[in-house]
Amino acid sequence: MKKQYSFFQVLLFVLLTASVTLVLTFYYTESRIISRLSSVSEAQQLFLKLNEVKRCVDANFVGDYDTDALVDGAVEGYIEALGDKWSYYLTAEEYEATASNLSGGFTGIGVRVSYEVEADAMKIAEVYKESPAATAGLLAEDEIIAVDGSTVKSVGYDGARSLLQGETGTPVQITVRRGEETLEFTLTRAYVREENVISSLRDGKIASIRIKEYADGVDTEFEKQLAEMIEDGATSFVFDMRNNGGGKLSVLLNILDRLLPEGVIFISEDRAGSREEFNSDSEHLSAPMTVLINKNTYSAAEYFAAVLQEAGKATVVGEKTTGKGYGQATVELSDGSALVISTIRYFTPQNRSLAATGCVPNETVVLEDNAILSSSRVDLERDTQLRRACELLLGTSSGLYSE
């Protein structure tokens, strides 16, 4: 027998169902709104605080100010607060001035500067001939502590290095520490063309190939000079990475591909944890090798040494390198300025990061006078690192290419 329900019982059931549905809908909608507002509120908090600061300045500050400079300063501080020494901000003018960087030549003062972890200065490793720096009397081993009023300590190595560059004919003021003296220089930027690959043959069979920077075209020039050294009778090789400030990943990978057998040569990992592997082909240089490094061997250059060492392809001689394990990308903003931010972690084929350790040489040899590296003339008596690298190769020989 069917159970009968009264009109009021049915009405009560409908009302209860509607109430539950309303409550559930409310909580679902609220949770969706809260999840969206969690990210929005962070942005609102940032903008509200900046707006509060602006209102305070507008109401009370007695001096004049440049609004664009305030915005640049706020963004620069935001990136600096990330705590990543390899990320920095470029104003529109600075970004435009550095657009030609790593092109085999650049507009600047004509120095190669070296990087030291936590340093408050950039040490000049080399002064290019007939450059603005040479004309002004700058010397290797001078330390640049500020560029146009921005200290190296505040903007970091990469930021200060970018400030040295600019449009041809524009002035730049640098503050230099030379021993106990502090000197001020005002230089006029000029286009500087540099030789990034230099090679020579020693004892008729040891080729010394120095790479100063992994700039555009360096991989092609390296291959050209490598072939010339082989044709001239080279059977072993010294690859000199001292004072090399790094450069483009694609150039590094092309050079490693010529030296290493088939296999993984580079591993990158993005923010999401996704990994990508880069591989070399089977053709490679099969000959005894040594690599020279020092504390100013940076980024791609120290990775080059570490990977050849890890693969058992080369003996590394010199001093422990700086240690870097992040790769950067340049993101242009709507006003023409740019963020240079770390976007990947990178690892050797054996899954090692160099960020904490750097590359540790197989044989530690300290160069007494680093200034000799700025000379175009090699002096094996004074260059004890190069001399030791050559000694390790003497008496060895091998076939050159394997597949």
For 116, other C-beta atoms within 10 Å of its C-beta total 15
Residue 268 has pLDDT above 60, yes or no: yes
pLDDT given for residue 86 in this prediction:
87
Least confident of 163-177, 248-262, 360-374: 360-374
Mean pLDDT score, 165-190: 93
The three-state secondary structure class of 255 is helix
Q: Which two tokens stand for residue 270?
A: 């993005």
Q: How far apart (Å, rounded) are the C-alpha atoms in residues 96 and 93? A: 5
Domains of the chain: 105-192 (2.30.42.10), 196-402 (3.90.226.10)
Residues 6+ apart with CB under 8 A from 193: 104, 105
Residue 263 has pLDDT above 90, yes or no: yes
Q: Using 50, 70 and 90 to split pLDDT, how confident is the model at 177?
A: very high
* Distance from the first to the final alpha carbon of the chain: 90
Residues 6+ apart with CB under 8 A from 72: 89, 91, 337
Q: Using 50, 70 and 90 to split pLDDT, how confident is the model at 50?
A: confident
pLDDT given for residue 20 in this prediction:
47
Q: In one letter, which amino acid is 21?
A: T
Which residue carries 């770390």 as its tokens? 342
Summarize pLDDT for 369-385 with one digit per residue, the tens: 777 776 655 666 789 99
Residues 6+ apart with CB under 8 A from 345: 268, 269, 325, 326, 327, 353, 355
Q: Using 50, 70 and 90 to split pLDDT, how confident is the model at 341?
A: very high
β-strands 363-364, 275-280: how paired?
unpaired
**Range of 19-23, 147-151, 399-403 with top mean pLDDT:** 147-151
Least confident of 29-43, 64-78, 307-321, 353-367: 29-43
Q: Which two tokens stand for residue 8?
A: 């009021």
Mean pLDDT of the chain: 84
Closest CA to 296 of 135, 125, 59, 171: 125
**Buried (b) or exposed (e) across 278-311, using 16+ Cβ within 10 A?**
bebeeebbebbbbbbbbbbbbbbbbbbbbbbbeb
pLDDT given for residue 44 in this prediction:
76
Helix (H) or strand (E) holding 134: helix 132-136
Which residue carries 């050079």 as its tokens? 255
Q: Using 50, 70 and 90 to split pLDDT, how confident is the model at 34?
A: very low
Residue 13 has pLDDT above 80, yes or no: no
Summarize pLDDT for 133-159 with one digit per residue, the tens: 999 999 988 999 999 998 988 887 778
User: Sign (positive/negative) of CA torsion 102, 105, 108, 113?
Assistant: positive
Closest CA to 109 of 144, 85, 141: 144
pTM greater than the 0.75 cutoff: no
User: Is the model more confident about 69 or about 36?
Assistant: 69
Q: Using 50, 70 and 90 to split pLDDT, how confident is the model at 395?
A: low
Q: In one letter, which amino acid is 329?
A: A
Residues 6+ apart with CB under 8 A from 120: 145, 151, 152, 153
Residues 6+ apart with CB under 8 A from 390: 202, 203, 206, 208, 238, 290, 380
User: Is the model more confident about 341 or about 41?
Assistant: 341
CA–CA distances in Å: residue 123 to residues 4, 139, 387 = 95, 10, 24
Q: Which two tokens stand for residue 15?
A: 């009302």
Mean pLDDT score, 360-368: 94
Mean pLDDT score, 105-132: 81
**Buried (b) or exposed (e) across 329-352, using 16+ Cβ within 10 A?**
eeeeeeeebbbbbbebbbbbbeeb
Summarize pLDDT for 196-254 with one digit per residue, the tens: 899 999 888 999 999 998 988 999 999 999 999 999 999 999 999 998 989 899 999 99
Closest CA to 358 of 286, 299, 289, 288: 299
